[in-house]
């Protein structure tokens, strides 16, 4: 069987050539479609691919086989958008409880909807590669709580750092697309601020948007593998409440 493979012989992620691309999507190209099972958003000139319609927490997944290529490093970038009210890696119920007093089981389960955003893993059982989160707001706290509980873990004043999953560690990017300065939210696709590009950052997101490498992530594995890569768009509430559709991704290994 003959397979066409796209190789990048230039430097990526600060490391010389020899990268093989396993995944590529560019929805600005009108001839490209969402992967099977993903739902198309079209708004404000943006085309993006989100979760299948769901009344509760869910992930929608696409896998990328390595075609037998052995690798120990993953380099990639993803562009997504915020729909409505994702809240990054918020672990609790939505009942106003003291932050951190409730940790739901799905939160610490890499196989579940542990994040509002994009999960990139390898193989089965899943091993974490990178997580790209969408926080609720970029420049203000939600009107009902002034403790930043729904903001990116890297946002100023957010308590999410104190509960961040151990399997994520520092291997994540987070940004919000909601520019509201009064803590308000809208049930729209925030199409004017693409996420995880280090641009269009709000007043609380300085640390998030200074993450090393942005928009590229670079994951050095502590092993060599031929595992498939998997990209999931996840959220812990229904699609009418929140989603983080992706408009672009490219994933390389070497």
For the chain, give every domain's residue range: 7-253
Question: Residue 216 pLDDT more than 90?
Answer: yes
Report the mean per-residue pLDDT for the chain.
Answer: 96
pLDDT score, position 4? 80
For the whole model, what pTM was predicted?
A: 0.96
The mean pLDDT value for 92-96 works out to 90
63 phi, psi to nearest 5 deg = -110, 150
Question: Residue 139 pLDDT more than 80?
Answer: yes
Task: Choose the weakest-confidence range: 3-17, 71-85, 183-197.
Answer: 3-17
Question: Residue 2 pLDDT more than 80?
Answer: no
29 Cβ partners below 8 Å, 6+ apart?
none
pLDDT score, position 95? 87
248 Cβ partners below 8 Å, 6+ apart?
25, 26, 27, 28, 77, 78, 79
Q: What is the DSSP pairing of strand 172-175 with strand 127-134? A: parallel
Burial per residue of 210-221, b for 16 or more beta-carbon CB atoms within 10 angstroms, e otherwise: ebeebbbbbbee
pLDDT score, position 17? 86
Task: Choose the weakest-confidence range: 4-13, 186-195, 218-227.
Answer: 4-13
């Amino acid at each position: 069987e003959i397979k066409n493979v796209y190789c990048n012989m230039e430097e990526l992620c600060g490391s010389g050539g020899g990268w093989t691309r396993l995944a590529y999507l560019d929805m600005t190209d009108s001839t490209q479609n969402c992967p099977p099972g993903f739902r198309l958003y079209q708004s404000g000139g943006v085309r993006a691919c989100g979760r299948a319609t769901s009344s509760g927490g869910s992930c929608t997944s696409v896998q990328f086989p390595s075609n037998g290529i052995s690798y120990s490093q993953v380099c990639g970038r993803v562009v997504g958008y915020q729909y409505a009210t994702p809240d990054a890696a918020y672990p609790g119920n939505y009942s106003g409880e003291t932050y951190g007093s409730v940790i739901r089981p799905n939160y610490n389960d890499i196989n579940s909807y542990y994040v509002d955003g994009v999960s990139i893993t390898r193989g089965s059982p899943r091993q974490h590669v990178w997580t790209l989160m969408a926080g609720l707001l970029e420049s203000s706290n939600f009107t009902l709580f002034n403790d930043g509980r729904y903001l990116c873990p890297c946002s100023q004043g957010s308590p999410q750092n104190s509960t961040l999953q151990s399997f994520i560690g520092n291997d994540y990017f987070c940004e919000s697309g909601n520019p509201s300065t009064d803590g308000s939210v809208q049930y729209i696709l925030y199409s004017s601020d693409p996420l995880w590009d280090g641009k269009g950052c709000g007043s609380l997101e300085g640390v998030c948007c200074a993450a090393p490498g942005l928009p590229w992530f670079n994951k050095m594995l502590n092993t060599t593998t031929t595992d498939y890569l998997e990209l999931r768009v996840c959220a812990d509430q229904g699609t009418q409440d929140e989603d983080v559709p992706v408009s672009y991704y490219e994933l390389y290994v070497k």
